[in-house]
Structure 1
Amino acid sequence: MLTHLKTNLGRLRLLALLEGLSLIALVFIAMPVKYMGSDPTLVKVIGPIHGVLFILFVLYTINVSIEENWQFLRTTWKVLLASIIPFGTFYVDKTILSRQKEV
């Protein structure tokens, strides 16, 4: 895991994991507690965290795309699209990001 922190691509993969996990926490933990338990506290905490991770993922994808000279129509748009599809970051990490060469 620490080797991921040494490269921009590795950090993007780690950010994809965190963004996906925050969505899972939001959808499967915080939202049920809000609506079934009538307590919006977790949504108020996890929601903004997920929002920040989402924005960081999009910005970091653009940054890595420029630095790694990804072709927009071949790679970049797929990674960006994954950020708006629920749990898409897990899929894109497995199918695209893990196959990129870390420099």
Structure 2
Amino acid sequence: MDLKTAAALRRLRLVSVPEAASWLALIVCTVLKYTTDFNAVPVLGMVHGVLFIIYVLFWADAWNRARWPLGRSALYLVLSVVPTGGFWAERMLSRESVAAVEAARAAASADAEAVSA
């Protein structure tokens, strides 16, 4: 993997936690809307919607760059719909992006050795 792939994975990882947190906050606000006079659903609904769209765009970019198999790409997409799935996606993507950076650095050092030889 190259550094652009690692950057795509990092972007997806960074948006997964706020997206999951906004999902949970939206669930709490929906319960509060029907049990009290507090109604923050319109605001949090829009915030969550924007974060979800960003997640899906970053997911598509990461899928394109990382060349994930269909099962893994579907898993990351399904995790965006599950209320706490974004937290799981962040943990999995963290491991994957570290591996991508290490692979890119190893390839760069191998290229540098080949040029100097």
TM-score > 0.5 by shorter chain: yes
Structure 1: segments with no counterpart, 5+ residues: 1-5
Secondary structure of 1:38's counterpart equals coil
Q: Which has the larger radius of gyration?
A: 2
Mapped to 2, the partners of 1:17 and 1:99 lie a distance apart of 15
Count of matched residue positions in the alignment of Structure 1 and Structure 2: 94
- Residues 28-85 of structure 1 show CA distances to partners (whole Å, capped at 9, x for unaligned) of 2x22331122232x10100111011112212211111111222223x21110111122
Amino acid at match of 1:31: T
Pick the aligned partner of 1:90 from 87, 91, 94.
87
Percent identity between the two aligned chains: 34
Residue 11 of structure 1, CA deviation: 1.4
Task: Give matches, 1:60-99, under 5 Å.
Answer: 60-73=58-71, 75-94=72-91, 96-99=92-95
Larger RCO: 1 or 2 (CA < 8 Å, sep 6+)? 2
Pick the aligned partner of 1:50 from 33, 48, 51.
48
Amino acid at match of 1:99: R
Structure 2: segments with no counterpart, 5+ residues: 1-5, 102-117
* Length-normalised TM-score, structure 2: 0.71
Mapped to 2, the partners of 1:33 and 1:27 lie a distance apart of 9
Do 1:10 and 1:102's aligned partners in 2 also have CA atoms closer than 8 Å?
no
Amino acid at match of 1:51: G
After TM superposition, where is structure 1 displaced by more than 3 Å over at least 4 residues in a row?
none
Select the structure that is richer in helix: 2
Amino acid at match of 1:46: L
Mapped to 2, the partners of 1:56 and 1:33 lie a distance apart of 27
